[in-house]
Amino acid sequence: MAQSDDGFAVTVVDWQRRFGRHHLPWQNIEDPYRIWLSEIMLQQTQVSAVVPYFERFVARFPTLEDLASATEDAVLSEWSGLGYYARGRNLHRAAQRVLAEHDGRFPERFEDILHLPGVGRSTAGAIAVFAFGQRFPILDGNVKRVLARCFGVEGYPGLTEVAARLWTLAEQLLPTDGIKAYTQGLMDLGAEVCRRSRPLCSQCPLRTRCVAHTQDRVAALPAPRPKKPRPQRAVVMLIMQCDGDVLMEKRPSPGIWGGLWSFPETENLGDATGVGLAVYGLEVQSVTPMTPIVHGFTHFSLTITPALCRVSAREMQAQAPGRVWTPPDEALQKAIPVPVRKIVDQLSHSPRSEA
């Protein structure tokens, strides 16, 4: 493995200044709040998907104080559709912590940034670099791929020992000058040139020194995640409907879709009538299965079978805290997961029930 390599950093900086991205909405600013927000949103999410969410989010919460004083529902409503909802909850908690522990000023010390909810070593490094010009390495997925290919780092980067080698390399390669352009350049190269599939090696400024390119091993580096059977799960969502309105409940936090609004659930379609009465005090008159939805998470796949349950009346038991009757079009304004949004969207375009 290479030791300190000034030529590598100089090449990356020069390429970024000429060919890298320079006009993203969180670039060319010195606002730690917006830089932090962008880095959280960019975790496991492509830039093209993040840009519209980022712009809507800062329009709704222009300052850290605005974010800290907002309700979790409001925050998750703006986050809805971006996925990995723990990021939105952690963002909200972190803003409140900054307000309480740092007098509302985003912390400059790397250790303090790293201590914020939802911030790991790479994210803290990126914030320290872009917000404060400090000299720290980053190692997101794109950068791991660039370094693994260029320096021939064997093994799956998700393994502890492989990640440790990549972190050591990332630290050794840090330049003394141009840290912002260097860090952005690594991100840009990974995203736009050294892509996971069909990389544009002919356009890469590092190709003459790249181990993967010179040894014709681009497809083999970095090593893929070891294959394991993907767990399959299934759930029935009960769409309790009365006079066109549907019953929604807020999911507990933490957990899958924690803090978001969804439909009551059960394991078996045949339990719909019993669950409706025993848990919600609702007399289910009819149950109509809807088209199943398959939704992929990072570690498992979930098959959702929606069941339209027409009920005769709204009992008080269904008005417990965290439960609400709402028209489908108003439900779309809530913080709801993507598959739930698909179900609600179908309902909002259907005739109102006469039940």
pLDDT the model gives residue 354: 39
* Per-residue pLDDT tens digits for 304-350: 999 999 998 876 454 555 888 999 988 888 889 999 999 998 887 66
pLDDT the model gives residue 48: 93
pLDDT the model gives residue 279: 85
pLDDT the model gives residue 321: 59
pLDDT the model gives residue 16: 97
Which of the pair, 245 or 5, is modelled with greater confidence?
245
| Listed range (4-8, 108-112, 215-219) with the worst mean pLDDT | 4-8
| Listed range (46-50, 77-81, 144-148, 171-175) with the worst mean pLDDT | 77-81
DSSP 325: E
Distance of CA 176 to the CA centre of its chain: 32
pLDDT the model gives residue 320: 55
pLDDT the model gives residue 254: 74
* Per-residue pLDDT tens digits for 223-273: 998 888 889 999 999 999 998 899 999 988 777 888 899 999 999 888 888
* Per-residue pLDDT tens digits for 87-101: 999 999 999 999 999
183 vs 343: CA distance, rounded Å = 41
| Listed range (65-79, 149-163, 248-262) with the worst mean pLDDT | 248-262
Look at residue 353 and tell me whether its pLDDT is greater than 70. Answer: no
Q: Which residues of 109-142 are buried (b: 16+ CB within 10 A; e: fewer)?
A: ebebbbebbbbeebbbbbbbbbbbeebbbbbbeb
DSSP one-letter string for 145-193: HHHHHHHT--S-TTSHHHHHHHHHHHHHT--SS-HHHHHHHHHHIIIII
Contact 134, 110 (CB under 8 A): yes
pLDDT the model gives residue 190: 96
Q: What is the mean pLDDT of residues 6-35?
A: 95
Residue 9 to residues 39, 55, 214, Cα–Cα distance (Å): 22, 32, 19
* Residue 192 among the catalytic residues: no
- Adjacent-strand bridge partners of 325: 247
The structure's pTM equals 0.81
DSSP 279: H
Given the residues 39, 249, 267, 283, the one annotated as active site: 39
276 vs 321: CA distance, rounded Å = 17
Look at residue 215 and tell me whether its pLDDT is greater than 90. Answer: yes
Percent of the chain with pLDDT over 90: 71
Percent of the chain with pLDDT over 70: 95
Contact 34, 26 (CB under 8 A): yes
pLDDT the model gives residue 238: 94
pLDDT the model gives residue 1: 40
Q: Which domains does the chain have, with CATH numbers?
A: 6-214 (1.10.340.30), 232-348 (3.90.79.10)
